[in-house]
Chain A
Amino acid sequence: DTAVSQTPKYLVTQMGNDKSIKCEQNLGHDTMYWYKQDSKKFLKIMFSYNNKELIINETVPNRFSPKSPDKAHLNLHINSLELGDSAVYFCASSQEEVSSGNTIYFGEGSWLTVV
């Protein structure tokens, strides 16, 4: 009954490969996110979808493409992986309700290592 689940947890791949990370939330939230945490633990938002619509698209290379087939899923596909893509990628979700403050719930992370 994990609230936000993402797979795989660990991924080691070679430069130039294409990989995907899948994310699902069972909280009934209408907004989902991808965050990237680098080796210094800085957490930066990459994308956000609200009701399957892309609403936040930060300065991220075009090699990164999110896909939201429905409100409960937000997958991240990465083309032509580079060494600098090595990081921890967190999926997250929230319910857009002004009165509740929009608490974000995070998955456990996907550790991507590009060699």
Chain B
Amino acid sequence: AQSVAQPEDQVNVAEGNPLTVKCTYSVSGNPYLFWYVQYPNRGLQFLLKYITGDNLVKGSYGFEAEFNKSQTSFHLKKPSALVSDSALYFCAVRANTGGFKTIFGAGTRLFVKA
């Protein structure tokens, strides 16, 4: 069975500092891994994904994520946080062996303080 864990309900960071939002996963076979962002009263927006290849994936708005197979992790990072990055972030996983189900984590609220 697939599962995703986002161990932190909230991450607080000062503007200009680097940020990390953690995600670990469990899936049979090789994973497709995603990060989405949700701003207040909006739908989820795709940020980036890992399918195969380079473990460091770059996405929208300066975000990147590193796939670590041995630790089954896919942490979201940004070198310098902006106040406008404050939002709810979801990690998601899907097995690449077929099936149509993408499982989402519980979400991590990122708060960037000016």
- Chain A residues within CB distance 8 Å of chain B: 4, 31, 40-45, 48, 50, 55-56, 90, 92, 96, 98-109
Contact = CB atoms under 8 A, between A and B. Distances in A.
A44 B107 CA distance: 12
Contacts of A106: 36, 43-45
Nearest to B88: A41
A4 B104 CA distance: 19
B51 A99 contact: yes
B100 A56 contact: yes
B46 A103 contact: yes
A108 B34 CA distance: 19
Contacts of A56: 100-101
Interface of B: 32, 34, 36, 38, 41-46, 49-51, 88, 90, 92, 94, 96, 100-104, 106-107
A40 B90 CA distance: 13
Nearest to B96: A98
B44 A103 contact: no
Contact of A104 (B41, B88, B102, B106): B102
Given A43-B44, A102-B94, A105-B46, 20 more contacts: A40-B106, A41-B38, A41-B107, A43-B90, A44-B104, A45-B101, A45-B102, A50-B100, A56-B101, A92-B44, A98-B96, A101-B50, A101-B94, A102-B100, A102-B102, A103-B49, A106-B43, A106-B44, A108-B43, A109-B43
Given A41-B107, A43-B90, A90-B44, A103 B34 contact: yes
Interface centre among A101, A104, A107, A109 (most CB of B within 10 A): A101
Contacts of A98: 96
Contacts of A109: 41-43
Contacts of B49: 101, 103
A101 B50 CA distance: 8
A104 B47 CA distance: 11
Contacts of B103: 45
A103 B45 CA distance: 10
A45 to B, nearest CB: 7
Nearest to B106: A42
